[in-house]
Amino acid sequence: MVSAALQNIEEKMRTSVGGLGKELAILRTGRATPALIEHIKVDYGGVPTPLNQIASISVPDARLLVIQPWDKSSIHNIEKAILKSDLGLNPSSDGNVIRISVPQLSEERRQELIRVVRKRVEERKIVVRNLRHEVMNELKGLEKDKEISQDEHKRALNQLQKLTDAFITEIEQIGRDKEVELMEV
């Protein structure tokens, strides 16, 4: 019973941490990466479709993204979606492919992005702590109902705290890594 609760919460915490990595990958650094634009929704046949489902995205060099749509008639819609995305990117098309030059970030913009990273990291830490709190209440109920002993309750709380600490550390490391990436010139 206790191990099932701990396994369940570990999976939820792992999902939260994984979501943070994906969320931070979208934040723009000075480097080109497909994660920057693959989530953009493009109007394709009247249906909002993620860009990575209607085109291939490649990175020929550190400052250039190349989008090759599978359907050439969608080029105009892709360009329009990129311009509307508020990423500050300007696509240029030659009729077959779309090229996006990723400009350098200004110092002010870097600091702004670092604040966003720190905010998102703190939000994920709160999610992990809330998950811990849920399991603590569940364990307290099990002990109250005499389904587990006091010793089992304390052992489970110690395991839960170690698990929480490990995920918080992982979240903080992801945040530090992204900050370092943002500060690279």
- Residue 160 is part of a domain; what is its CATH number? 1.10.132.20
The verdict on 161 and 110 lying in the same domain is yes
pLDDT band (50, 70, 90) for residue 122 = very high
The verdict on 91 and 46 lying in the same domain is yes
- Tell me, what's the pLDDT at 176? 93
The verdict on 111 and 97 lying in the same domain is no
How confident is the model over 59-75, as a mean pLDDT? 89
Confidence check: pLDDT of 95 > 70: yes
Confidence check: pLDDT of 70 > 80: yes
The verdict on 124 and 146 lying in the same domain is yes
The verdict on 22 and 69 lying in the same domain is no
The verdict on 139 and 75 lying in the same domain is no
Q: Look at residues 101, 127, 142 and tell me which one is the last residue of a structural domain.
A: 101
- Tell me, what's the pLDDT at 183? 81
Number of structural domains (the chain) is: 2
Q: Look at residues 85, 101, 117 and tell me which one is the last residue of a structural domain.
A: 101
The verdict on 39 and 86 lying in the same domain is yes
Confidence check: pLDDT of 158 > 90: yes
How confident is the model over 145-154, as a mean pLDDT? 89
Three-class SS state of 61: strand
The verdict on 172 and 110 lying in the same domain is yes
Q: Which residues contact 32 (CB under 8 A, 6 or more apart)?
A: 59, 61, 62, 63, 64, 65, 100, 102
- Tell me, what's the pLDDT at 111? 85
The verdict on 113 and 68 lying in the same domain is no
The verdict on 65 and 119 lying in the same domain is no
The verdict on 126 and 152 lying in the same domain is yes
Task: Pick the closest to residue 102 from 110, 90, 85, 114 (CA basis).
Answer: 90
The verdict on 69 and 120 lying in the same domain is no
Q: Phi, psi at residue 18, to the nearest 5°?
A: -60, -40
- pLDDT above 90 as % of the chain: 34
- Tell me, what's the pLDDT at 164? 95
- Tell me, what's the pLDDT at 131? 93
Range of the domain at 21: 2-26+106-183
Q: Look at residues 101, 136, 160 and tell me which one is the last residue of a structural domain.
A: 101
> What integer best gives the mean pLDDT of the chain?
87
- Tell me, what's the pLDDT at 69? 92
Q: Residue 74: give its domain's CATH number.
A: 3.30.1360.40
- Tell me, what's the pLDDT at 185? 59
How confident is the model over 5-10, as a mean pLDDT? 87
